[in-house]
Amino acid sequence: MSNVYVLYTGGTIGCIGKPLAPMPASQFAQLVASMPGLAQGQVAGLDVPIQFTIEPYTVGGQVQTLDSSNMNPADWVNIAIQLAANYAKYDGFVVLHGTDTMGFTASALSFLLQGLSKPVILTGSQIPLSSTLNDALPNLVGAITLAGKQPALAEVCIYFDSLLLRGNRAVKVNANQFAAFNSPNYPPLATVGTIPTVNTALLLPI
């Protein structure tokens, strides 16, 4: 069984209420556990279940829950430090992040975390997980599944609306559709449908 570390920095995926406001990581983890197939920190229904752990983003020991518009270069460094501190304990990593600056964070992490031998996948959503109609659940499950089941993937990526994109090639292209990200000058590394289809020829070597 693979084990995936999920770093919750905030963003729309973890918002609730009107107007939307980010929920604490502990409340978000409880909401995730109530989703079908995600109880007890596992992605069920796979040939081999994936264990995952959700932890909050911290700065100097203080929990930070940020809208992506508040992300800055210091946060990029702190996210990289938090992932590096847990690197030896997990098989893959997912960073939950707001969409507006996700592309910038992914690009920065691709340079801060060079020489990876494990996947680091950023994802989020256009609609919160707390809403009945949302893109949050498929994005979360898809990102965790790829992070836990694709050992040949050893780079920073963005997963959104069934597409896995190279992190430093991805850009937000739509604020209203679920297909919010694309990589206009580079093909997707993988597409998730009934089964994940990985374009192994495009992956960075381990």
User: Would you name the residues annotated as active-site residues?
Assistant: 12
Distances (CA, A) of 28 to 113, 156, 179: 27, 24, 23
DSSP code of residue 133? S
Rounded distance, CA 113 to CA 105, Å?
Answer: 12
Rounded to an integer, what is the distance from CA 161 to the centroid of its chain? 12
The upper half-sphere exposure of residue 130, i.e. CA atoms within 13 Å in the direction of its Cβ, equals 17
Beta-sheet strands, E only, within the chain: 3-8, 15-16, 21-22, 42-43, 50-56, 58-59, 62-63, 92-96, 120-123, 156-160, 163-166, 171-172, 181-182, 190-192, 196-198
Cβ–Cβ < 8 Å for 205, 114: no
Rounded distance, CA 109 to CA 116, Å?
Answer: 11
Q: Are strands 50-56 and 3-8 parallel, antiparallel or unpaired?
A: parallel
